[in-house]
Amino acid sequence: MSQSLNQIRSRVRNRIRDAVIRRHKRSGYVLFSDTTLRDGEQMPGATLEPDEKVRIALALEEAGVHSLDAGFPASSQADVVAIQKMTQVVKRPVLTALCRTVRADVDAAEFALAGNPVHKKGVSLFCGTSPLHRQHKLQKSRSEVLRIITDSISYAAEKFKIIAFSPEDASRTEPDFLCECYRHAIDAGATAIGFPDTVGVLTPEKSADAIRLIQDNVPNLESVLLAVHFHNDLGLAVANTLAAVAAGANVVQCTVNGIGERAGNASLEEVAMALHVNRDQYGRRFRVDLSRLFPLCRLVEDLTGVSLPRMKPVGGENIFATEAGIHQDGLIKNRDTYLPFYPETVGADGLQFVLGRHSGRRAVAHRLQALGHVCSEAELDAVVGLIKQQPKGVVIDDDRLLQLIAGDHA
Ligand code: KIV
Ligand code: ZN
């Protein structure tokens, strides 16, 4: 009796879940799945303590990401602890745990995620499917791989309602076999399928083709979400992600600052800003709070110790700084002249007019005025001249500027 009640409950939950997936697909929203705490942390030197992971998870929750790839429980006890801690405090995003297509990994994920309700936890299973992986890594035939996929996903479906399956090295897997893997995974109970470009070899055109291939050849696709995961070995992870979105992907998997295996993953802040700035082109809505991005980039930089290049798009120190006279003049007249988006849009402090050899009169006058110093045209010419003569490495901060205007040239 209680068995059949449980079965009825489970069927109802599955129907609700399927309806949610279908509604989401119709809405056209792009969901952000963050893997900073898993693929990002996998990067040598980016190791995070459980409490640091929780801080990043909370910041990602504030930023509005849909799900967090929270760690790989079977790979380390620290990941188990971190996930358990996250289940205590992270409430809105779905927390998922990475698993090989192995029952024991699913058990480890179940244990780590025990604190979360069924609709806020899931597993993300992966299995190498390319000829290289089958032959050299797994030593398994195609049919053995299919059996492993079916077995592990069926097992996961006894414990989880949210199950993603990714054929590792999907971009180098034979198209017919790739689609067969997806078909088996969906039949066994997967609710999302991932397309990982594991070694980052694709171009935007090939990425879009891959999405279309899946759409055309996986008949049961309408009941699952299609997620993409691009690595950045050719510097194309963001471009490939955008191409996949344009072709109809539902979920983008990214990391903050683009950290991750080798050259990293698609950067969350870049994908979000590209979709925002080009919303006329993509026409896809998403729920990331853009004003959280800059602080998020800084937090991940601080906690991982992986420092950002100054000119890193969106999060870099140089993004709202300029020394060039023509740019400074234009920005003073109208910020749109030399900005693709405003500092406050991404939660950064503001424009930074660096004074140096390339600066012009207008920026110097502007700075002096902000310091309450009104000067004549002749004084302005003189101080601009002095600034241009400063040796390499001299920083013209406010104190130095006032010294120069006061005639202290030492
Ligand atoms: O890049 C990759 O293939 C992965 C898998 C674990 C999905 O990160
Ligand atoms: Zn990856």
Q: Average pLDDT of each block of 10 consecutive residues along the chain (410 residues)?
A: 75 83 90 98 95 98 98 97 98 98 98 97 98 98 98 97 98 98 97 98 98 96 96 98 98 98 98 98 96 98 97 97 94 96 97 92 92 90 92 90 82
CA distance 32 to 288: 8
List all residues whose CB is within 6 A of at least one atom of ligand 1: 39, 126, 166, 168, 196, 198, 229, 231
Distance CA 324, CA 27 (A): 44
| H or E element in which residue 164 lies | strand 162-168
pLDDT of residue 409: 67
CA of 1 to the centre of ligand 2 (A): 45
For residue 320, what pLDDT is reported? Answer: 97
Q: What is the pTM of this model?
A: 0.95
- Helices (DSSP H) in 158-289: which residue ranges? 175-188, 204-217, 237-247, 268-277, 279-282
Assign 236 to helix, strand or coil. coil
**26 contact partners, CB below 8 Å, separation of at least 6:** none
Structure tokens at 146: 């299919």
Q: What is the pLDDT of residue 18?
A: 85
Ligand 1 atom with least separation from CA of 169:
3
Best mutation site among 105, 125, 166 for ligand 1, i.e. most ligand atoms within 8 A of its Cβ?
Answer: 166
CB burial class (10 A; 0-12, 13-18, 19+) of residue 373? middle
Residue type, 227: A
Chain position carrying tokens 């406010």? 398
The residue to which tokens 């290289």 are assigned: 132
* Whole-number Å distance between alpha carbons of 348 and 291: 8
Q: Which atom of ligand 1 is nearest to the CA of 170?
A: 3
Give me the amino acid identity at 406.
A
163 C-alpha vs ligand 1 centroid, how far in Å?
15
Going by C-beta distance under 8 Å and a sequence separation of 6 or more, which residues neighbour residue 370?
Answer: none
- In eight-state DSSP terms, residue 267 is B
Distance between CA atoms of residues 60 and 93, nearest Å: 9
Q: Which atom of ligand 1 is nearest to the CA of 194?
A: 7
